[in-house]
Chains A and B, each alone.
Chain A
Amino acid sequence: MAAAQPATDEVARRSLSESVRRRRSGAAWEGVVEATIYATGLFTIVLLVGILFLLGQQGLRLFFEMDYPIGKFFTFGNAITDNTTDIEKFRFGILAPLIATMWVTLVTLIIAVPLGLATAVYISELAPPRVRLLIKSAAELLAGVPTVLFGFVGLFLLVPFVRDQFGWGAGGMSGMTAGIVVAFIAVPLIISIADDALQAVPLDFKENAYALGCNKLQAIWFVIIPAAISGITAAVMLGMARAIGETMTVLILAGGNSSIPEAPTESMRTMTATIASGFGNASAYSLLRPALFMTGAVLFLITLFTTVLADLVLDKQRKKFAR
């Protein structure tokens, strides 16, 4: 160790007061790297925030440049994706896609919420750790399967079944059919967030419940679920946002009728499906392109509102158990 002494001492034993006022070697270079990090961070954020702005700007052209009546956009009961520049012939309202989205989302939630919450309770409170890990992984795989595959398999398995058994929609393609499949797309998200919420309930809550003579079911029902209720609410809301935004399954399975659906069993076209099916042949100067951007902006606002609300609810949950 004596060998190390002279070399290090030279640096170490320099007067402290002098040393602390010296610039470090490489400080300038570090400044450049840090500035890059700042720039990257800000650039990305500006870019992402730009989405809303850009969609709105492109969409609002419909009303302000092309003079399409705002009232007609929001009340006209059909969404015909004609690639036209003729304002008289353009008959596009967001009402039909909006209602279609609502139907599909409703069907999705009716199926996905009980399934998702029951699964979350099982893996969080009942399953042995190994099973829990296995199911969580499987649910993540489920979430990772491309939705176009769900649509494809649904087309082959569910659509003929629905057509033959119930005769819904257009040859078995209906909001109901799509909603059933979307439920399985939304369910992993619900499970994951509800499970997090249940796991976040402190152990002593449970122990107290048991100490009072509750059995496991009572402990879960009267103590754990109420304690995790805001997280569970958020899980449902995020599942809802997922269903609203899902495109491929509804595009393939919901039938594609552009008028207002009066029941979930009808053929319909949601907001996402309207955009996906119409955008390909919407030329740059047509009325259709801004109309679809406007539809996208509305879709974005709806999902943003839902997720922000869910985030606020989750924040409440986090604060409740913050120690």
Chain B
Amino acid sequence: MTNETTTTTETGAETNLSTGRMAGGGVDVKATVAAAAAASPKKTSTDQVALSLNNVGVWYGQHEAVQGVSFDIYQRATTALIGPSGCGKSTLLRCFNRMNDLIPGTRVTGTISVEGVDIMGKDVDAVQLRRHVGMVFQKPNPFPMSIKENIAFGPKRLGLAKSKSQMDDLIEESLRDAALWDEVKDKLDEPGTSLSGGQQQRLCIARVLAVKPDIILMDEPCSALDPIATLKIEDLMRTLAKDYTIVVVTHNMQQAARVSDWTAFLLAGEERTGRLIEYSPTEQLFTTPRDKRTEDYITGRFG
């Protein structure tokens, strides 16, 4: 969004970050995180927790894909989930808007709460939830319609725009926010699939922005893109983080370091069950990791 409404508190890191907690591992997280944050004052959060995970586990049938994950994701910050492939980071991400509901045989344990409400609860409408927690996928997946219709699809189905001019404004705004407007403003009626891969991905981001979500989940959004397109998406993520809560899964550690404020490192053992190893402000995780395994991973010794 163009109107700068950030209320970022630059200094209150120590007190606010004390909410950062971690169940497994047995390390004194609070102290470490606080120390790290004090050492390098971060621009991050507005002290509000967007999503709170408590002992989250995911089962695919008999297989336990993720076990005992607990941490908080902060509002208007970018959180990266990193780890080797098969560590359950995408699986975990898909819990945040219950996309896992669509895969039969999936079971989620523990709680994921938003403002104190468990989103896995029976009283929560998954469809309604997804409208607030948008998702951008690994492969750009524009609908087989024009660029304009791609953006309008969500608002139309959800009844977000009252008139045609409102819809047009919404389309322009979403495309501008996704840094795509200048490239497509003269060809809004061309099919979304005619765009390049990077543009398609920004179109998908614009499509999500058009339904005004609170949280945007990104599942390896750049893995199908070339380096230049990747840089553009990363720029965009940094801009969006001023207004949205972003959770991004990436296998690219440099990307995590470049775009995120917080990083969670997951790792799966022999039995292919992913666990949270470390959750820290990004800078700290990459400069002074607390866990030996994190250090091994970020220095490229395995994974």
Interface flags for A4-18 (1: CB within 8 Å of B; 0: not) read: 110111011101110
Cα distance, A8 to B159, chains bound together (Å): 9
Whether a CB of chain A sits under 8 angstroms from the CB of B31 is: no
Number of interface residues of B (CB under 8 A): 30
Q: Are B125 and A8 in contact (CB-based, < 8 A)?
A: no
Those of A150-171 within 8 Å (CB) of chain B: none
Q: Are B115 and A11 in contact (CB-based, < 8 A)?
A: no
Q: Are A8 and B170 in contact (CB-based, < 8 A)?
A: yes
Q: Are B115 and A16 in contact (CB-based, < 8 A)?
A: yes
Q: Are B169 and A16 in contact (CB-based, < 8 A)?
A: no
Whether a CB of chain A sits under 8 angstroms from the CB of B293 is: no
Cα distance, A7 to B161, chains bound together (Å): 7
Whether a CB of chain B sits under 8 angstroms from the CB of A24 is: yes
Which residue of A5, A8, A12, A27 has the most chain B CB atoms within 10 A of its CB atom?
A8
Cα distance, A2 to B132, chains bound together (Å): 21
Which chain A residues lie closer than 8 Å to B155 at the CB level? Answer: 8
Partner of B115, one of A12, A13, A17: A17
Q: Are A21 and B125 in contact (CB-based, < 8 A)?
A: yes
Are A15 and B173 CB-contacts (below 8 A) given A3-B165, A7-B161, A20-B132? no
Number of interface residues of A (CB under 8 A): 22
Cα distance, A93 to B116, chains bound together (Å): 76
Those of B97-122 within 8 Å (CB) of chain A: 114-117, 119
Q: Are B116 and A17 in contact (CB-based, < 8 A)?
A: yes
Partner of B212, one of A8, A23, A27: A8
Q: Are A19 and B132 in contact (CB-based, < 8 A)?
A: yes
Cα distance, A112 to B256, chains bound together (Å): 61
Are A20 and B173 CB-contacts (below 8 A) given A7-B162, A8-B212? no
Q: Are A8 and B161 in contact (CB-based, < 8 A)?
A: yes
Which chain B residues lie closer than 8 Å to A28 at the CB level? Answer: none
Chain B residue with minimal CB distance to A9?
Answer: B212
Whether a CB of chain A sits under 8 angstroms from the CB of B35 is: no
B10 to chain A, nearest CB (A): 24
Chain B residue with minimal CB distance to A3?
Answer: B169
Cα distance, A12 to B170, chains bound together (Å): 13
Which chain A residues lie closer than 8 Å to B149 at the CB level? Answer: none
Whether a CB of chain B sits under 8 angstroms from the CB of A22 is: yes
Chain A residue with minimal CB distance to B117?
Answer: A17
Q: Are B212 and A11 in contact (CB-based, < 8 A)?
A: yes
Q: Are B212 and A1 in contact (CB-based, < 8 A)?
A: no
A270 to chain B, nearest CB (A): 45
Are A21 and B124 CB-contacts (below 8 A) given A11-B160, A12-B212, A16-B114? yes
Which chain A residues lie closer than 8 Å to B159 at the CB level? Answer: 25
Partner of A15, one of B115, B161, B162, B167: B115
Are A4 and B115 CB-contacts (below 8 A) given A21-B123, A24-B127? no
B231 to chain A, nearest CB (A): 26
Whether a CB of chain A sits under 8 angstroms from the CB of B261 is: no
Interface flags for B157-200 (1: CB within 8 Å of A; 0: not) read: 00111100111011011001000000000000000000000000
Chain B residue with minimal CB distance to A2?
Answer: B169
Given contacts A11-B160, A12-B160, A12-B211, 11 further A-B contacts (CB under 8 A): A1-B2, A2-B169, A3-B166, A4-B161, A12-B213, A16-B115, A17-B115, A17-B117, A20-B117, A21-B123, A25-B159
Chain A residues close to B by CB (< 8 Å) = 1-5, 7-9, 11-13, 15-17, 19-25, 27
16 pairs of residues in contact across A and B, judged by CB atoms under 8 Å: A1-B173, A1-B176, A3-B166, A5-B173, A7-B166, A8-B155, A8-B166, A9-B212, A16-B114, A17-B116, A19-B132, A20-B117, A20-B129, A21-B117, A22-B125, A24-B125
Kindly list the 4 A-B residue pairs having the minimum CB-CB distance in the complex, ordered from nearest. Answer: A12-B212, A1-B173, A17-B115, A4-B169
